[in-house]
Structure 1
Amino acid sequence: MKKINALMVIGFLLFLFGLNVNAQSSTKLQPKSIAPYPLEITYFKTTNIIFPSAIVGVDRGSKDVLAQKAKGAANILQLKAARDSFPETNLTVITADGELNSFVINYTPKPSVLNVSMKERNSKNVIFPSPGSVNEADVTTYATHALYSQYKGRKIKHSKYGIRFGLNGIFIRDNLMYLRLTITNKSNISYDIDQLRFFIRDQKKAKRAASQEIEITPVHIQNEATKIAGQSSQTLVVAVPKFTIPDKKYFAIQIFEANGGRHLKLSVKNSTIIKASVFPTLESNVKYSH
């Protein structure tokens, strides 16, 4: 009888131990998921998303979604469908305050909402370094330095239909890179700029494999132009969050002509990116060439 009672006590203790282990395992930290925001877009109208801070990165799940930052507003993203009835896809937007915003995108001919404010949504589960920590006045000053600097890195250019588009300087300071671009119009027809876009893309797309494309959104453009008159040239500097390029990818810079077909593209390798010239501090003397 004593032997039976001892076995019962041992069994009861083992039962309590199992409950304790299960309780401890259930209290372990579990990864939190960020629920995506459902969004419908159309081919015929533009959807505007308003964020509480500047947009620093956009990743489209499909080329069926067209995305661009609104001119003059760093915190507004404009979306439109590239074609009708596309399959469900997604969109990820990172803002300068470290917020990750995830969207599930579907097509509809008549979206019920065209303007969405993300100011009330909170997704600080992921923290990113913020280029916005750099003072805006400093960014403008560094961009001006890049515009007139004597430094000329490796030139990458593309010419088509009398338009020459080139990258002739990459500079870095703190969390921002400054890209110096020159657009030359050798034709007699003015070149109206519709969009200037920046992407990290796959070098080659394997069969049946989805193409990964990450759009990089500028945080500042110095000496911005909307039109290049015939027989003239314009140099501008674009400030973007610093980055390097993973293997089997490249950095693409595209310029599109409004109501025209003179679209040009630059392909930049990682070996060029990592040779960016480092800016001296603002107190240092910087020589310019005019």
Structure 2
Amino acid sequence: MKKVFLLLTALLGAAHILFAQSPGRTNIDSLPQIEISSQADIHFLSPEPIQYADISSHSITGDMPVKNLLRIKLVPDSLRHLQNDCTSLGVITIVGESFIAQYHLVFTKSIGQQLPTAIAIQPEQCRPLEFPGITLTTPEMKSHAMDILHRGKKSDIRKAKAYGLTAILNHVYTVGDHVFLDVSFQNKTNLAYDIDELRFKIEDKKITKATNVQSLEIKPEWQLYQQPSFKREYHNIYVFKKVTFPDNKILNVELSEKQVSGRTLTLQIKYGDLLKADNL
């Protein structure tokens, strides 16, 4: 009889564990717990641009000052309803390009140096997630871009010169449906170059007076550096979703200076240059 009782106890315990840890299910008591008070805002630092965030409590408000930073704080009017420590404030959900992370928020009246003000989202706190439309995440693009820089310059595919400036298409790479343009600019004058705009436009290869100019501007999905000016050389990687255009068109890379009489430079990239891209 004693053996039967022990066996039933073991089976019930196993069933409880299996139920509590069922695949695909996350319980609130298993989430990392974050204490929040009226003393300080909390900033969540994401390794990727945040695509979506949800705060389940009306006692907390939040915003995103930049793409990979979520700031939350207690709503002042809610403080009179929060009298006890460890009052549950529900769950905050943060979704990046390739992950979902959740935290259990609890109110505390504690005042001291141990309260969190910034929380970096750790890999062990995330679950993988495929976000619609994203085939290459920002960390992946940065990793590929740094790999391109470390490979160095091999040969100039295209080059343009004007006003003591040189624009060079060093290399073209592809990763899946993304195109990486390795472009550098050189300044041989003694005047620093303050960048006004760098634009990428698909335009007619040959333009006559009787022809209406057709121009389609495309914007990089991502670029490695955001540099406002350069003294001698500027080297950057620009990432685009798959780009196609007919043979009678050309991709113009236009660099313009901030000054009224600013120097401008246009680098022309042929479609054949993209077709000869190397795989990373």
TM-score (norm 1): 0.48
* Structure with the greater alpha carbon radius of gyration: 2
**Structure 2 length as normaliser, TM-score?**
0.50
